[in-house]
Chain A
């Protein structure tokens, strides 16, 4: 590259409003896009997959940096809170949402997580988004705001396809609301070609709410369908049943049957399909919830 050439090939304008109202005004114009950590957006700009007229940087808006947790109101994560802030500064995350904590620790690398936000991960709407499957199992909701007003939607209803979602022009994710339904255990199992800085070939979040009481098992997957996928059918099947090898076998088969993986640079559809059956069983075994008959 010659000196003076730019890595990002086209021009756009840049704004950093200090208030949400100003930001929403700017974003209501065609061709304007919001950024937070810009870890996905800059990559897309360089690859010419995004050609905005202008970029509205939301990081200076104070209210988007809020984080709160209480057992009554659950966890509220402002759109500007970075993944490392959730991992390092808010012990409530690890304590009350362990599967979500495990998943965000597997996003990118340490440097990425100092910039990347959960709202950005959701807004980017990749089927491989690691933060999403655990949030689906915890019944997360999103507060969306635009100049026209605000609305609350279920995370499960947010995605419409790879990179696609229900956000309208000028509408942003303001915060992520995660109800607290009791103590939970579980695992986010990510298979990728290398341990760090890779997208998931497949990601499986299995969460058990109230493991010593009603033992509500929930499961959601990344990279096996056009959108992150929660498999309610498998949850309904296993609810209240004793975890015998036969029940777990059927549970894993239902999970697998609900996936529709594709082949790409990270793995084949056959491999993903097989892993969608293997991993749910493996996680239940590693959590000590059942033993295979010897």
Chain B
């Protein structure tokens, strides 16, 4: 069946099967490989995308469910070759090592800062609790989100 959605503002039409997940379609059909498959069960958050404004696990969404959705991935963060403040903050705070979890963290962080531009440490931890990192640890990630909030506040 053919579904339509937007990815990072671009309209797409793609032929999908009901037993494909949104993550399958993004990675294997549209070659949008920012979202990663970690566990495939909604436990690790590596596949997190912003779906109609809210962070969700794309591995738990059946492709046809996404008909009509607005989807945002890490690929949409960089504008004209310029990194997003959240990305800058992650680099400055050394908030990743292997980077496999990073696109998911960036999506959860972006959605958090949109609904709450000045989150407390507890609110950051809660918003990121569905994203697992197995090498950096979480301190630098939490610092990066805090720093991103400051950068974004200063720019607006």
Contacts and interface: CB of A to CB of B under 8 A. Distances in A.
Interface in B120-144: 126-127, 129-131
Contacts of A282: none
Contacts of A287: none
Interface residues of A, number: 35
B130 A112 contact: yes
Contacts of B127: 110
Interface of A is mostly: loop
A109 B129 contact: yes
Interface size class for chain B? 20 to 34
Given A45-B19, A196-B129, A111 B48 contact: yes
Contacts of A115: 56-57, 60-61
Contacts of B62: 14, 35, 38, 42, 55, 57
A70 to B, nearest CB: 28
Contact of B129 (A38, A39, A110): A110
Contacts of B67: 16
A269 to B, nearest CB: 25
Contact of B28 (A4, A11, A13): A4
The 3 closest A-B pairs by CB, nearest first: A109-B130, A196-B129, A14-B18
22 contacts: A1-B37, A3-B28, A8-B19, A8-B20, A11-B18, A12-B18, A13-B18, A16-B65, A35-B62, A37-B60, A38-B65, A39-B42, A43-B60, A57-B65, A109-B129, A109-B130, A112-B60, A114-B54, A114-B56, A115-B60, A195-B129, A197-B43
Interface of B: 1, 17-21, 23-24, 28, 37, 40-43, 45, 48, 51, 54-57, 59-62, 64-65, 67, 108, 126-127, 129-131
